A and B are shown apart, each in its own frame.
Chain A
């Protein structure tokens, strides 16, 4: 078994607004093995982005990581000081965001921005106290732009973001994120703002880079198709909690949670000539200001039992790699140890 690069243990993140505490992430635990691509799927407000921002420690006031551990290479990121974290960001863990235009600074050239990142994290091989020389940093930037498929990188590097198209901006951001050879890349809906043909290019690129560099990737999206295309493992989130996780085959072919099953039924099947009516999930997602006491999905779940409304389910082990948080599995499987839910197993 490959080594775990990241392990979240019961992570809780809240935002303290004037309306009250918004419990965006309410106890999420998962791990990522080296060289894997973990997909996190969920609807808006499911806590998928806040979880990854917590890993990057980019939660600003009024938000706060309340509880839990973020183990990355043997250290708990939740306990690091801001300076120590700044050291890791960009060099060990990088992130790319949904909107490439707002993530790039419009008044600096791509060269300025890339060289800045590289010089912040990479030291001069001859003099380890100094950052790498500007010339070497530029060479490195050009190399990575070439790697992500920017045509004429020598010329393009001197241009401003507005001179790039949407797909190229996203490529430039990926180049920037990878330029310091991070161990972990977090991609937060990087293809949502792009057209399908460009999305196909970016997914192809990520797959290729992953196999070349061996970087582990956390890929956040709401598109099940993208997950099926790219990821090796999947975490399904809803209402700030993890509903189910497993390998991509398990999540797509034998989902054990009613929410995962509902998601599959609400997208049209691609079989030609066959038109089955879509089965939507009735109702709407929970309000995280007053999250439901029990399972967040219970109010919309067709199988909901009394206990579902009262108490959140523990994680049930379905196979060695698949766990699901649903009371329906109660008798079938043992409770995963170390997960803090009162009254766990029966």
Chain B
């Protein structure tokens, strides 16, 4: 995608989502999970923005906060130049038609008591888009578009395999002509051979319908494959944003370096040659996090400043954003 004339579709500014898990006698928060703690990024029209990180880094919470399944604690979500983070449930309705979501678990995300027609048609009815025969035709057309058959329309979810259910989930998201689809780990519950089917289909749909994706996943090789740009999260903070080739070619943040080097490659020779950085210890708890860089406790370059001051998220090279005090020193920039 060329850098000129690109239009921002979604902009997230300093987004925060905290969950209070314990309050004092007087209702003051005592323990707070800082699930998302001030992240900013933009998604351009027609691109796929990948969001990666380990479990508990806040990538799913980010997706859910954008679509307002959670109310943001602080910060802004700007969709097509309109601030939507603070809208009420009712005001949000027109935007829900623009932003749709595909969920991870194809077993839990479809209502077992609804037929496929009801599942796909629900959004059409809610937004009063089509009725009667037209509605039914649209559902058939969607089913065929995602590689299912017309006769599947009257069946129930339990009659389908995991890959087929994920296709139903995609048809449901497409039913109301959204512009932005948030894909929350859409392939991680599927088998390897089925994953490629779903990924290829998502790519075709993007080309055909001009969709924009926010692709959340922990499978780094698939994210690299599908995304134009990638954001790397760690403990509620954005660590690095870069185009997918730049990120994999030359990661700048120490966490990104470690994360990428820990992917086992499907190639025995390459694995022997790779210099694996094995991180010590576990991801710290996101409850009442310490000041300073979140990654400091596991970072091998850690210096005094890292434990004292939050690193600023800044553009160190054109189109490359990193939150690290020492990034210039580490990478000889």
A interface with B by C-beta (< 8 Å): 43-44, 165-168, 195-201, 203-204, 222-230, 248-249, 252, 262-268, 270, 272-273, 275, 277-282, 284-285
Contact = CB atoms under 8 A, between A and B. Distances in A.
A197 B222 CA distance: 17
Nearest to A274: B245
B72 to A, nearest CB: 26
A262 B263 CA distance: 21
User: Which 9 residue pairs are nearest across A and B when measured between Cβ atoms?
Assistant: A280-B196, A225-B264, A200-B262, A266-B196, A268-B225, A229-B264, A195-B54, A281-B193, A43-B191
Nearest to A204: B278
> Chain A's interface: helix, strand, loop or mixed, by majority?
helix
Contacts of A201: 278-279
Contacts of B278: 197, 200-201, 204
B266 A224 contact: yes
Given A168-B282, A195-B55, A263 B267 contact: no
Nearest to B221: A268
B221 A278 contact: no
B40 to A, nearest CB: 24
Given A252-B267, A280-B193, A200 B276 contact: yes
A252 B55 CA distance: 30
Interface string B246-290: 001100000000110111111111110000101100110000000
Contacts, number: 123
Contact of B279 (A197, A203, A222): A197
Interface of B: 54-55, 161, 163-164, 191-197, 199-200, 203, 218, 220-222, 224-225, 245, 248-249, 258-259, 261-271, 276, 278-279, 282-283
Given A195-B283, A277-B203, 12 more contacts: A43-B194, A44-B191, A195-B54, A195-B218, A196-B263, A224-B266, A225-B264, A228-B268, A229-B264, A267-B221, A275-B225, A281-B196
B196 A279 contact: yes
A272 B249 contact: yes
Contacts of A249: 268-269
A278 B196 contact: yes
Contacts of B164: 284
B167 to A, nearest CB: 11
A197 B54 contact: yes
> Chain B's interface: helix, strand, loop or mixed, by majority?
helix
13 contacts: A43-B192, A43-B193, A195-B55, A196-B54, A196-B220, A196-B259, A196-B262, A199-B262, A225-B263, A228-B264, A264-B266, A267-B192, A282-B197
A264 B266 CA distance: 8
A165 B196 CA distance: 32
A196 B218 contact: yes
Contact of B192 (A203, A224, A273, A282): A224
B248 to A, nearest CB: 5
A282 B224 CA distance: 23
A241 to B, nearest CB: 16
Contacts of B197: 280-282
Given A266-B196, A268-B224, A252 B268 contact: yes
Contacts of A225: 221, 263-266
A197 B259 contact: yes
A252 B265 CA distance: 11
Contact of A228 (B192, B266, B276): B266
Contacts of B262: 196-197, 199-200
Nearest to A149: B280
B292 to A, nearest CB: 20
Nearest to B54: A195
A306 to B, nearest CB: 24
Nearest to B193: A281
A341 to B, nearest CB: 25
Nearest to A285: B191
Nearest to A268: B225
A151 to B, nearest CB: 8
Nearest to A205: B278
Contacts of B263: 196, 225
A270 B231 CA distance: 18
A166 B269 CA distance: 30
Contacts of A44: 191
A265 B225 CA distance: 13
B299 to A, nearest CB: 12
A166 B197 CA distance: 31
Contacts of B276: 200, 204
A203 B265 CA distance: 13
B282 A167 contact: yes
B161 A284 contact: yes
B321 to A, nearest CB: 19
B181 to A, nearest CB: 19
A275 B199 CA distance: 13
Contacts of B200: 277-278, 280
B249 A273 contact: yes
B54 A223 contact: no
Given A195-B54, A196-B54, A280 B194 contact: yes
A230 B266 CA distance: 11
Contacts of A270: 221, 224, 248, 265-267, 270
A199 to B, nearest CB: 7
A232 to B, nearest CB: 10
B286 to A, nearest CB: 13
B193 A200 contact: no
Contacts of B191: 43-44, 222, 285
B265 A228 contact: yes
A166 B283 CA distance: 10
Centre residue among B265, B266, B271, B283 by max chain A CB count within 10 A: B266
B251 to A, nearest CB: 11
A281 B222 CA distance: 16
B284 to A, nearest CB: 10
B199 A278 contact: yes
A167 B55 CA distance: 12
